[in-house]
Amino acid sequence: MADYNRSEAYDYSFYGAPAVNPAYEEEQQYAVQPQRKPKKNKAINIRRETLTLAVQTLRIIAIAVTLISLFAAVLYSRASLAVLERNGDTLAGQIRDAESENTRLVMLLNSSVSREKVDEYAVSVLGMQKLERFQIHYFEDKTGDRVVMANGAYSEADIEADKSN
């Protein structure tokens, strides 16, 4: 019961090799193979071989040309990519310069339009003076606010407010 790995439980004779006649095998082994007859026209054979070699040569040349053109296309694309990257770097530098110039000009504009500069320009160049408190007059409308329509008529609330005053 301990010998499970043995093959005695299987009958392989059922699957055995088919019976072969040993005499037949010896005949086949020593049988004379018919030889090919040489072709009568050697010129046709030479032309066929030459044509076959020419076709193979043309195929090899076509494959070589295709590979070389693909390689050239890859080189060209990489060269154009390098040129575009260089142009991009140049443009990025120009953008940085323009942004710094813009910041400088905005600061210059803000400093030239400050309240103190406007007051100084008004006094020195235009001859203006600052208002004093006694120069300011306030007006009061005793009738209140009014709304005037596009056709020149007043609103009803304004008319009633006038009647009450």
pLDDT computed for residue 53 by the predictor: 94
pLDDT tens track for 114-135: 888 888 888 999 999 888 888 8
pLDDT computed for residue 139 by the predictor: 75
pLDDT tens track for 31-60: 556 666 655 677 778 888 899 999 999 999
Quote the distance between the C-alpha of residue 62 and its chain's center: 33
Any idea where the domains of the chain sit in the sequence?
40-164
Q: Which residues, including other chains, have CB under 8 Å from residue 148's CB and lie 6 or more apart?
A: 154
Yes or no: say if 147 and 155 are a contact pair by the CB < 8 Å rule: yes
Q: CA 128, CA 118: separation in Å to the nearest integer? A: 11
Residue 146 neighbours by CB distance under 10 Å: 13
Task: Show the tokens assigned to 94.
Answer: 């120009």
pLDDT computed for residue 19 by the predictor: 55
Quote the distance between the C-alpha of residue 156 and its chain's center: 67
pLDDT computed for residue 63 by the predictor: 97
Yes or no: say if 165 and 157 are a contact pair by the CB < 8 Å rule: no
Q: What is the pTM of this model?
A: 0.38
Band the pLDDT of 82: cuts 50, 70, 90.
Answer: very high
Eight-state DSSP code of residue 15: G
Yes or no: say if 154 and 146 are a contact pair by the CB < 8 Å rule: yes
Yes or no: say if 147 and 158 are a contact pair by the CB < 8 Å rule: yes
Question: Which of 130, 123, 165 is closest to 144 using CA atoms?
Answer: 165
pLDDT computed for residue 84 by the predictor: 95
pLDDT at 30 over 90: no
